[in-house]
A and B are shown apart, each in its own frame.
Chain A
Amino acid sequence: MKEKIMQIVTKYDADRTRLMDILLDIHDMQGYVDDENIEVLAEALGMSEAEVNETISFYHFFTKTPRGKFTVYLNNSITAVLRGRDAVKSAFEVACGTKFGAVSEDGLFGLFDTSCIGMNDQGPAAIINDRIFTNLTVYRVKELIKGLKEGKKLNELVYESNGDGNNADKDMQSMVQNNIRKGMFLLNKDYNKYEILKEDLSKHSPEEIIQIIEDSNLRGRGGAGFPTGLKWRFGRRVDGEHRIIICNADEGEPGTFKDRVMLTEYPDLVFEGMVVAAYATGADIGLLYLRYEYKYMLKFLNRVLDEMREHNLLGNKILGIKDFDFDIRIQLGAGAYVCGEESALIESLEGKRGEPRDKPPFPVERGYLGYPTIVNNVETLASAVKIVKYGAEWYKGFGTKDSLGTKLLSVSGDCRFPGIYEVEWGTSIREVIEMCGADDVQAIQVGGPSGVLIGVKDVDNLGATDLMKWYKPSGMMVAQKIYDRKLSYSDLPTGGSIIIFNNSRDLLREVVMNFMDFFIEESCGSCSTCRNLPFVMKQKLEKILDGHGVRQDIDDLLNWGKIIKVSRCGLGQTAANPILSSILNFRGLYEKDVKAMTDFDNIFDIEKSVDAANKYLGRKTEFHHN
């Protein structure tokens, strides 16, 4: 075993910054990394065992103990729950003969929960040994597990139903469906690959390219909306031996799956975007950080890169342009929502725990391995290609004044046509609802759990007293009012996740609780606010839902929600949003359950709490009140 591990280490030149790849390869080989392996790794990489352990323990898909010959990771995002996840989960447990969080006695099956895997439009879905199984039902689970027990191979169980488009490609062969419902210019089959690179790029100087992007007002599509042209200009200005372009394909916000579709159908467009960015900024190293959940695309994507190398669109002297050397490597993640945050992503790329860095310095100043680094979202890079092709003026024909262009929406939840919709910025919520065929809408989660359960005003700008001003007794009244709000950076900014809930859903018990579980699971643990507050806030919510809440509990939630804003990264700062925005827009649901007449209620039961010690000591529980 030691030899095999040393072979892997040698493959990566014993470079400790490639620890992610080394660990991924070892997992491919044997499914886990144990203490013995860690000892070997630490010595070979010149690290301490604790450092290797640190990285392993951070990521969901790394493990120190075997997780079964077949490892099932069943997605637990809210839409999966709405589509019958609980029954599917039980079916797995019965069929495999083990509970979730454990491995069956024969070592054949390991069952584990996992956060959103980007299949919200076709859930419940599971990853079994890196393959995606969508639209799971009780019947399908029985069939799958029976097949595996009979010795069928995983791909035999997939091939019966390949997905559409490139999902059926020989290097992908996945049953995932694209569900493209509406395309404009990003999702557009008229696209001629490499045309822009071969014909348009050399017509412009790098400075001109940056100018075009700046003129177009393109803003980052990951959610934060930073002006892309400005980021490129900063990156170009900073001196460095190398400059890095990173494409962030770690879409972990529950409910988002647009990058999956872009990379499946238009990977060339995304890679072209990276080449354009590299040309404009003078970068020589390209990295695409692909979330582990999308590992099934890896072979396919690498083939696209090879093809581009054959066309001299990657490598040395690209298109014969002097000094334009640039190549792209795909780095797999290993399951961590916070790695979508750009500085955490860079830490992960360097083989470390994906904990966000303190800023400044920003990545454009000192990023990957200390070099100036530009991190762009998949959709941003694809948009940049179209802008260079058709010009900034053309681009300004789409969207609203402050939000130009189009946005890919990942729509899921209670609607007839979940999937990807490319819409102009400025599209109203009413239009989205009509587009996807949603009836009887109670609430809409815009921007995923870290976004808002929408209502009259964003919670971020408001203090607790201000919140009172916006108090409306009925959630529905508020929800009706918001239909005319528009998706845009000034009104409803979003990374594109739209989850719809109809009136049969229990917003607090089902939705908000699910989102809080997500944040508790995904906190990196670095800041005490984000590590602890979501946990105690969820307890407080449970107390209210159990009928033990008092008004003070609602005020506590609002006040504690403000404290969490001191967390270092966006994940931490928004981790209380499910509770805050549901209080803001659906306060009636909270007040319904709290006791108005008393100012204190606890769930403490003294008889219960002395029981364990008394039993052990062999004494009776007796109270002698004076």
Chain B
Amino acid sequence: MSKKVIATTSLAGCFGCHMSFLDIDERILDLVELVEFNKSPIDDIKVFTKPVDIGIIEGGCCNSENIEILKSFRENCKVLVSLGECAIMGGLPALRNGIPIEECLAEAYLDGPTVGENKEGILPNDPELPMLLDKVYPCHEIVKIDYFLPGCAPDADLIWNALVALVTGNEMDLPYEVIKFD
């Protein structure tokens, strides 16, 4: 049987979910036996080079680049998994959702106490930069998401059990400990 292909990305997240993923410790050796990585920060492949079985998304969408990457994941992956609070709910970045974007930008670049030297009031408007969205969106409001793994960050065992279930096609092992958050 050929190995399942996996891709991962971190959108508007903190990479904490990826770090938690690495907490599977020595099981990473088993993982390499089970799967092959494609586009992912783990192997630093930047673009999709083949069809992918499982795409894992950390973080929600706060700018146009996030949207583009998320859509490319949907196009290239058979199954998409939202990993962690930010991908599922918008998480910490979504705290700005109750505040108009204009106020957020003003606070960040013009009025905030840490703005300091920006006396000319320069705003980040270079065409190279991704465009900011009006609010932070959870991934399932942009594309269809097949599975959700909650947590901030999700427990390494939760990620591992989910991956094993997806790869082997068996039912997922979901003991209370892996979905208990505090």
Chain A positions within 8 Å of B, measured between CB atoms, are 599-600, 602, 604, 606, 608-614, 616-623, 625
Contacts and interface: CB of A to CB of B under 8 A. Distances in A.
Contact of B143 (A600, A610, A619, A625): A600
B14 to A, nearest CB: 21
Given A618-B123, A621-B131, 5 more contacts: A600-B144, A610-B134, A613-B132, A617-B132, A618-B125
A606 B125 contact: no
Given A612-B100, A616-B101, A622 B137 contact: no
B64 interface: yes
Interface of B: 64, 67-68, 100-102, 105, 123-125, 127, 131-135, 137, 141-144
A617 B141 contact: no
A620 B131 CA distance: 10
B101 A619 contact: no
A621 B67 CA distance: 15
A617 B123 contact: yes
A611 B134 contact: yes
Given A604-B137, A619-B127, A623-B64, A613 B144 contact: no
30 contacts: A600-B143, A602-B142, A604-B141, A604-B142, A606-B64, A606-B67, A606-B133, A609-B133, A609-B134, A609-B135, A610-B64, A610-B131, A610-B133, A610-B134, A612-B101, A612-B102, A612-B134, A613-B101, A613-B102, A613-B131, A613-B132, A614-B131, A616-B123, A617-B123, A617-B124, A617-B125, A617-B132, A619-B125, A621-B131, A623-B64
Nearest to A613: B132
Contacts of A622: 127
Nearest to B104: A613
B85 to A, nearest CB: 15
Contacts of A602: 141-143
A565 B79 CA distance: 31
A519 B135 CA distance: 27
B-side binding surface: helix, strand, loop or mixed?
A: mixed
Nearest to B144: A600
Given A600-B144, A604-B141, A623-B64, A613 B127 contact: no
Contacts of A606: 64, 67, 133
Given A604-B137, A617-B123, A622-B127, A610 B144 contact: no
Contacts of A604: 137, 141-142
Contacts of A614: 131-132
A108 B182 CA distance: 53
Nearest to B72: A626
A621 B100 CA distance: 19
Q: Which of A608, A616, A621, A622 has the most CB of B within 10 A?
A: A616
Nearest to A600: B144
| Residue from A606, A613, A623, A625 with most neighbouring chain B CB atoms (10 Å) | A613
Contacts of A623: 64
A121 to B, nearest CB: 41
A613 B143 contact: no
Contacts of B67: 606
A65 to B, nearest CB: 22
- Of B105, B133, B143, chain A has the most CB atoms within 10 Å of the CB of B133
B36 to A, nearest CB: 24
A599 B124 CA distance: 38
Contacts of A613: 101-102, 105, 131-134
A622 B125 CA distance: 12
Contacts of B123: 616-618
A201 B64 CA distance: 78
A181 B62 CA distance: 60
A163 to B, nearest CB: 47
A618 B125 CA distance: 7
A342 to B, nearest CB: 33
Nearest to A617: B125
A287 B88 CA distance: 48
A606 B65 CA distance: 11
B99 to A, nearest CB: 12
A620 to B, nearest CB: 8
B142 A610 contact: no
Contact of A616 (B102, B127, B135, B144): B102
A253 to B, nearest CB: 33
A321 B175 CA distance: 64
Contacts of A618: 123, 125
A620 B142 CA distance: 23
B53 to A, nearest CB: 19
B148 to A, nearest CB: 12
Nearest to B132: A613
Contacts of B143: 600, 602
A43 B135 CA distance: 43
A408 to B, nearest CB: 45
